[in-house]
Amino acid sequence: MKNIKIVFSYDGGLFFGSQAQSSKRTVQDELELAILNLTGEKVRITVAGRTDRGVHAFSQVANFITGSSIPAERFPQALNSKLGRGIVVSDASEVPLEFNSRSQAKSREYLYFVFNGRNLPMMFWDRVLHVTRPLDMKKMSEAAKLFVGTHEFVNFCGKGSSQNHYIRRVDEMEVLPAGRDMIKELGFDGELICFRIVANSFLYKMVRFIVGTLLDVGTGRIGAKTVKKMIKGGPVDVKCSVVAPCGLYLSNVRY
């Protein structure tokens, strides 16, 4: 028996999330079916980070135990030949049997993309969030720094979170311009903005709540003082905004 670690990307708009669900197309189900068709083995994969319906991934990680004689380096091409539209395996390697892609992950990185402009280029449809109101990059960047550190993120998660506590450690958080020259070459006015966050783990919809809050700062709806109160975990007199999943990407898992 051997433990195979795979790295893969997917279009979250084509799936009902990454975790297996009965009667719905999920990333986990598709990968397990591809492994079954390839090796004849019914395996259960362990995925590094759970993503919700509509959330994409550039570099998701999973592992599974197999008795197959297929060399690890051949799994990407072999699995891609069995997978349907929306998932691509880019790398595979053999790891120690005790390796667990979820529990041994030290941090995860997410990117959230926003197009700030009047008309959304067709290439970004269902791939980024479209915001037409002007955004203050400087204010958003300054507010983003407030999230770095260990905080009580109870104000930044969706209902239905089953966590025992809401304390999380954010290692990095920044707001970056991305692709301005490319957008001009396409004949559009606007800017692609990237919100980048790295943390040890995330609560349900945590990234989407944080980005929504920073966008509220960018439009002037709330100020930095309000954000500080929200991060402290106490009650606040404003309703937290949550952005759509279409602009969210799991971009890296670190071990």
Catalytic residues: 52
- Report d(CA 242, CA 13) in Å as an integer: 18
Helices (H), the chain: 27-39, 75-80, 137-144, 180-185, 206-219, 224-231
Radius of gyration of the chain (CA): 20
Q: Which run of H or of E encompasses 4?
A: strand 2-10
DSSP secondary structure string, 179-244?
-HHHHHHTT--EEEEEEEEEES---TTHHHHHHHHHHHHHHTSS-HHHHHHHHTTS--SSPPP---
Strand partners, 194: 113, 176
